[in-house]
Amino acid sequence: MVDYLKAIELIDEREAINFLRSLININSVTNTGSEKAVSDVIKDRLKRSNLTLFPDPISEKRENLIVSYNHEMKDEDCKTLIFSGHFDTVPPGNVTWNYGIFEGEIKENKLFGRGTTDMKSGVAAMVMAIECIEKAQIKLNGNLRFVGTVGEEVDCFGAKRVIRNGQVEDATAIVIGEPTANKVKIAHKGVLWLKISIFGKTAHGSMPSLGVNAIWGMNHFINELRNYSLKYEHHPILGESTINIGMIQGGVSTNVVPDQCTIYLDIRTVPGQNHEDIERDIKTLVEKTTKQNSMSFQMETINDLACVHTANEDPFIGLAKNTNKSLLNNDQPAGGVNYYTDGSIYNKALPHVPILIYGPGEPEIAHQPDEWVDLQKYIDSIKFYIKLAVDYLA
What is the 8-class DSSP label of residue 84? E
Q: How far apart are alpha carbons 269 and 69 in whole angstroms?
A: 36
Q: How far apart are alpha carbons 176 and 168 in whole angstroms?
A: 13
Q: CATH 3.40.630.10 occupies which residues in the chain?
A: 3-188+307-392
CB of 232 closer than 8 Å to CB of 270: yes
Element (H, E) at 58: strand 52-59
Q: How far is CA 242 from CA 180, 249, 268, 343, 353, in A?
A: 21, 21, 5, 20, 27
Q: How far apart are alpha carbons 163 and 345 in whole angstroms?
A: 8
pLDDT digits over 296-340, tens only?
999 999 999 999 999 999 999 999 999 999 999 999 999 999 899
CB of 240 closer than 8 Å to CB of 234: yes
Q: CATH 3.30.70.360 occupies which residues in the chain?
A: 190-305
Helix residue ranges per DSSP H, the chain: 3-8, 13-24, 35-46, 121-135, 157-164, 214-226, 275-292, 315-328, 343-349, 375-392
Strand partners, 247: 264
* CATH number for the domain whose boundaries are 3-188+307-392: 3.40.630.10
**Domain 190-305, CATH number (from 3.40.50.1010, 3.20.20.80, 3.30.70.360, 3.30.70.380):** 3.30.70.360
pLDDT along the chain (394 residues), means of 10: 88 98 98 96 96 97 95 76 98 94 97 98 98 95 96 94 97 98 97 97 95 96 87 84 94 96 96 93 95 94 94 97 96 93 96 98 96 98 98 93
pLDDT at position 71: 62
3-class DSSP state of 59: strand
pLDDT at position 1: 55
**What is the gyration radius of the CA atoms in the chain, in angstroms?**
23
- Span between the terminal Cα atoms of the chain, in Å: 14
Q: How far apart are alpha carbons 116 and 210 in whole angstroms?
A: 54
Residues in the chain: 394
CB of 198 closer than 8 Å to CB of 286: yes
Instruction: Name every residue whose Cβ is closer than 8 Å to that of residue 140 and which is 6 or more positions away in sequence.
Output: 69, 70, 133, 389, 390, 393, 394
pLDDT at position 346: 97
Give the torsion through C-alpha atoms of 51, 82, 24, 113, to 10 deg: -160
pLDDT digits over 63-78, tens only?
999 999 976 667 777 9
Q: How far apart are alpha carbons 393 and 77 in whole angstroms?
A: 12
Nearest to 282 by CA among 241, 238, 339, 222: 222
SS3 content of the chain, % helix, strand, coil (to 5): 35, 25, 40
What is the 8-class DSSP label of residue 119? I
pLDDT at position 169: 95
